């Protein structure tokens, strides 16, 4: 039989469900303890519930399926063994309307197979039990999200300390109640914080760190976990090929620990990357030179040679914070990140093709040299608007291909475009450009421009009036699109 797959829901301690006085549940068989958890509640009167269980459920039954002579045979033993094989976490038996008591043979079978058995009183409905499980799950999820959010804020603040690496390790160790250690490229321990485990666990953690060290090859995992002598161990490779590894040892593994450790790994990737390559000093030098009046093309060599993509990213879940922005930059392979309101801008080397990122909507410019970065920034912004309007994870600025418009002189085309669009203000021009690019969709244009659809209608009507033309005419739209493409050059 295949191992059951537990549903990806927050586990609910069985003891928390038993503590609900409004339910009146009573455990009559099976093991006790805080480690017993359930992931959902499912009702079934099937004689063999195995095919209908995912694993981790509290299975509720009123015993309708039980034959009259079940107490003298092997029926209950076979039934309970199938529930256990399916991964059921506990069994709830209702005392109404079929049975007045829990069958003794069922109690014995649950004790034999170590399956918790709950007695559900007549006043408690199975839907009431399921609702209570859902409420406890919601409370657990809320507590987990709040814990992760607070940890993210604490880690981000620690990264700004004078000694950021050790500050992040201390914050991580405190949040997970364990020991955090940073291993260098050669495996040596660089820094550590928190309550250290025994030597056996330390040795196991160092060995686990070698498993994820990037030098092992292209198929090396980025993280790994293990348990030694009751201590939970985790290792996370930092960055791409840096060789640094974050190790974590904790007596308990709580929901959200992996997310918290992943955030710390992203921050440490940025910090150790700067320490290893000196890129942080180069970026500071570039910023100072720009502030003192240097041209972008003169500063660009400090940031690395070659052309770059400009990527605009917007998180699907608002708002965006510095930790999420840094994580996006790390995922795209660049530390050059700018967070402005709800949009993150990243300068990505042209040899690293940006890929869609879970939880983000991205707009990508064409590769550009330093003098053309401002134009590429505009391309990325428009690509992001189109991605949001079309609900596409990533939209790239279209590469230029030979067209009929190339037969015209660029100077003549720009003069014509400026003359044709002269009556329009900048907001009207951008609205018209977006509306035409989205084939006249009011709703998608509203999403792309972050305005109400009635505002779009009013602006387009104003454009039609100022240009004294019929925007429903495809020839007119084609000419306007031609002009809009040339006026920005």
Residues 170 and 210 in one domain: yes
Whole-number pLDDT of residue 228: 85
Whole-number pLDDT of residue 120: 95
Residues 416 and 469 in one domain: yes
Q: Which tokens is 241 given? A: 């090929």
Residue 96: inside a domain: yes
pTM of the model: 0.48
Question: CATH number of the domain that 118 lies in?
Answer: 3.40.1390.20
Residue 210: inside a domain: yes
Residue in the structure block whose two tokens are 């039609």: 464
Give the separation between CA 336 and CA 472, rounded to whole angstroms: 44
Residues 409 and 392 in one domain: no
pLDDT at 4 over 70: no
Mean pLDDT, the chain, rounded, equals 83
Residues of the domain holding 109 = 12-136
Q: Which tokens is 207 given? A: 């060995």
Report whether 311 contacts 349 (CB < 8 A): no
pLDDT digits (tens, 9 = 90+) for 444-471: 898 888 889 899 999 999 999 998 888 8
Final residue of a structural domain among 253, 273, 293: 273
| pLDDT average, residue stretch 179-197 | 85
Residues 188 and 224 in one domain: yes
Residue in the structure block whose two tokens are 């004790």: 111
250: CB partners within 8 A, 6+ apart: 176, 177, 178, 179, 231, 232, 257
Residues 335 and 430 in one domain: no
Domain count, the chain: 4
Residues 77 and 166 in one domain: no
214: CB partners within 8 A, 6+ apart: 220, 237, 240, 241, 242, 243
Whole-number pLDDT of residue 133: 92
pLDDT digits (tens, 9 = 90+) for 18-40: 999 999 999 999 998 778 999 88
Residues 220 and 167 in one domain: yes
Residues 264 and 334 in one domain: no
Whole-number pLDDT of residue 365: 92
Whole-number pLDDT of residue 372: 83
pLDDT at 277 over 90: no
| pLDDT average, residue stretch 402-421 | 70
Q: Which tokens is 100 given? A: 């007045």
Residues 361 and 451 in one domain: no
pLDDT digits (tens, 9 = 90+) for 34-69: 789 998 899 999 999 998 888 889 999 999 999 887
pLDDT digits (tens, 9 = 90+) for 259-275: 888 888 888 887 776 54
pLDDT digits (tens, 9 = 90+) for 223-245: 888 888 888 988 888 865 567 88
Helices (H) and strands (E) in the chain, counts: 16, 17
Whole-number pLDDT of residue 489: 45
């Amino acid at each position: 039989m295949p191992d059951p797959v537990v549903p990806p829901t927050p586990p609910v301690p069985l003891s928390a469900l038993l503590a609900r006085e409004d339910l009146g549940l009573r455990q009559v068989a099976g093991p006790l303890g805080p480690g017993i958890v359930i992931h959902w509640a499912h009702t079934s009167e099937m004689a063999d519930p195995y095919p209908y269980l995912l694993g981790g459920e509290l299975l509720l039954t009123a015993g309708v399926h039980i034959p009259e002579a079940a107490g003298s045979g092997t029926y209950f033993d076979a039934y309970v063994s199938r529930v256990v094989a399916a991964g059921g976490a506990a069994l709830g038996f209702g005392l109404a309307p079929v049975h007045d008591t829990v069958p003794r043979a069922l109690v014995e079978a649950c004790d034999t197979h170590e399956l918790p058995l709950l007695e559900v009183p007549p006043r408690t409905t199975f839907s009431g039990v399921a609702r209570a499980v859902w409420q406890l799950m919601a409370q657990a999820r809320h507590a987990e999200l709040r814990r992760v959010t607070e940890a993210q804020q604490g880690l981000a603040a620690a990264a700004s300390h004078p000694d950021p690496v050790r500050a992040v390790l201390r914050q991580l160790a405190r949040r997970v109640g364990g020991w955090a250690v940073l291993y260098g490229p050669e495996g040596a321990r660089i820094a550590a914080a928190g309550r250290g485990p025994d030597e056996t666990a330390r040795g196991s953690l160092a060995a686990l760190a070698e498993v994820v060290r990037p030098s092992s090859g292209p198929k090396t995992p980025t993280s790994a976990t293990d348990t030694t002598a009751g201590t939970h161990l985790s290792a996370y490779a930092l960055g791409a090929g840096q060789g640094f590894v974050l190790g974590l040892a904790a007596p308990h593994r709580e929901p959200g620990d992996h997310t918290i450790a992943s955030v710390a790994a992203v921050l440490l990737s940025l910090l150790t990357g700067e320490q290893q390559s000196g890129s942080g000093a180069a970026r500071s030098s570039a910023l100072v030179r720009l502030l003192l009046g240097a041209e972008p093309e003169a500063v660009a060599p400090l940031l690395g040679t070659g052309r770059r993509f400009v990527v605009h990213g917007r998180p699907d879940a608002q708002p965006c914070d510095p930790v999420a922005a840094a994580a996006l930059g790390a995922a795209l392979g660049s530390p050059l990140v700018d967070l402005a309101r709800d949009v993150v801008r990243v300068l990505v080397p042209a040899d690293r093709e940006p890929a869609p990122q879970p939880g983000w909507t991205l707009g990508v410019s064409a590769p550009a040299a330093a003098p053309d970065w401002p134009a590429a920034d505009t391309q990325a912004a428009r690509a992001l608007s189109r991605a949001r309007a079309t609900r596409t994870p990533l939209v790239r600025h279209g590469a230029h291909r030979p067209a009929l418009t190339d037969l015209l002189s660029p100077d003549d085309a720009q003069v014509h475009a400026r003359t044709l669009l002269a009556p329009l203000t900048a907001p009207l021009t951008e609205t018209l450009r977006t509306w035409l690019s989205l084939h006249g969709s009011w709703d998608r244009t509203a999403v792309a421009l972050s305005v109400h659809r009635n505002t779009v209608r009013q602006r387009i009507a104003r454009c039609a009036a100022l240009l004294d033309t019929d925007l429903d005419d495809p020839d007119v739209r084609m000419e306007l699109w031609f002009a809009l493409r040339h006026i920005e050059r």
